[in-house]
Amino acid sequence: MLKPPISRMGGKSKLRKTIIERIPEHTCYLEPFFGAGWVFFGKEPSKVEVINDVDKELINMFKMIKYHAPEIERMLEYEFSGRDMFEEYKHCTVEYLTEIQRAVRFLYLISQSFASRGVTYGYGTNTKPSPQIFYKGVLGDIKERLRNTYVENKSFNDIIHRYDRSHSFFFCDPPYYETAGYGNTFGHDEHLVLRDTLSSINGKFLVTINDHPEVREWYKGFNIEEVKVSYSVSKEKSARKEYNELIITNY
């Protein structure tokens, strides 16, 4: 299993083994909400694979790793962890950067921020900072894993409709419902669009989402499994909490 180059809030590091065990037979594997890609980087490659996310900076990063991993590593090798450097990257004018520079900026901000959100500099009182934020050679395996993968930057419903076939499998990890901290506009209406889209596909799907009464009602016609998982948004071990999560499938 590979470790993704970044973490994301709500990432599936704790659940990926459970999810992978439930993936059905398929030819085309798709992730409409890629995020950090814990499941993708943990499973065996499928014949056809598509990763997608609406976050253009996230997708640019994975595209640049796919084609220019050595250059990204070279630029990050001697960077250091520090609040001043974090603020400099955060407030630079993205439009003036090359695609590779944007990828470096994104990797730095996510890896050095609280809850991997790229907003505020992250630190802990029980952990020491790493002497380097990135180590040479770590992106080589990620680059190779992405070599035969389609990398898309579209809406979830667009990507689902485009690639839906009877031999397609969609792993969907949308933003949690009514949970603070995600900083996005994926709300009630978007979740219903996702439910309606998945209800009409020819392929198979697996959705992971937080346990919520409305979510259970939306997907009551499908298979719903409850699992417990612990997450922490900070570097403090005491901040870890246990939550219920739902695994929903149409098979």
Is 8 among the domain residues?
A: no
Residue numbers of the domain that contains 87: 16-249
3-state helix vs strand vs coil in the chain, percent to 5: 40, 20, 45
Cα–Cα nearest to 10, from 152, 136, 242, 175:
175
pLDDT at residue number 110: 85
Is 10 among the domain residues?
A: no
Domain count for the chain, please give it.
Answer: 1
Rounded to an integer, the average pLDDT of 194-208 is: 98
Token pair listed for 62: 């994975």
Task: Decide if 48 contacts 54 (C-beta within 8 A).
Answer: no
pLDDT at residue number 124: 52
How sure is the predictor about 134, in pLDDT bands with cuts at 50, 70 and 90?
Answer: low
Collect all residues with Cβ–Cβ distance below 8 Å to 213 and sequence separation of at least 6.
none
DSSP 38-94: HHHHHSPPPSEEEEE-S-HHHHHHHHHHHHHHHHHHHHHTT----HHHHHHHHHS-G
Per DSSP, helices labelled H in the chain are 16-21, 38-42, 56-76, 83-91, 99-111, 140-146, 156-163, 188-199, 213-218
Q: 243: domain CATH number?
A: 3.40.50.150
Cα–Cα nearest to 116, from 163, 55, 196:
55
How sure is the predictor about 14, in pLDDT bands with cuts at 50, 70 and 90?
Answer: confident
Token pair listed for 95: 């439009």
Is 120 among the domain residues?
A: yes
- The DSSP secondary-structure symbol of 148 reads T
pLDDT over 70 (residue 66) = yes
- Distance in Å from the first CA to the final CA of the chain: 25
Report the alpha-carbon distance of residue 10 to residue 125 in Å, rounded: 23
Stated pTM of the model = 0.88
Is 5 among the domain residues?
A: no
Rounded to an integer, the average pLDDT of 216-240 is: 80
pLDDT over 70 (residue 12) = yes
Token pair listed for 169: 């499998």
Is 7 among the domain residues?
A: no
Mean pLDDT, rounded, of the chain? 88
Is 112 among the domain residues?
A: yes
pLDDT at residue number 231: 67
Is 121 among the domain residues?
A: yes
Token pair listed for 102: 């944007």
Which residue do the tokens 């004018």 mark? 93
Report the alpha-carbon distance of residue 181 to residue 179 in Å, rounded: 7
Cα–Cα nearest to 177, from 169, 186, 165:
186
Task: Decide if 205 contacts 246 (C-beta within 8 A).
Answer: no
Which residue do the tokens 């590091």 mark? 13
Cα–Cα nearest to 172, from 199, 143, 146:
199
Is 68 among the domain residues?
A: yes
**pLDDT tens digits for 80-120?**
677 777 788 888 888 999 999 999 999 988 888 654 555 56
Cα–Cα nearest to 208, from 176, 162, 180:
176
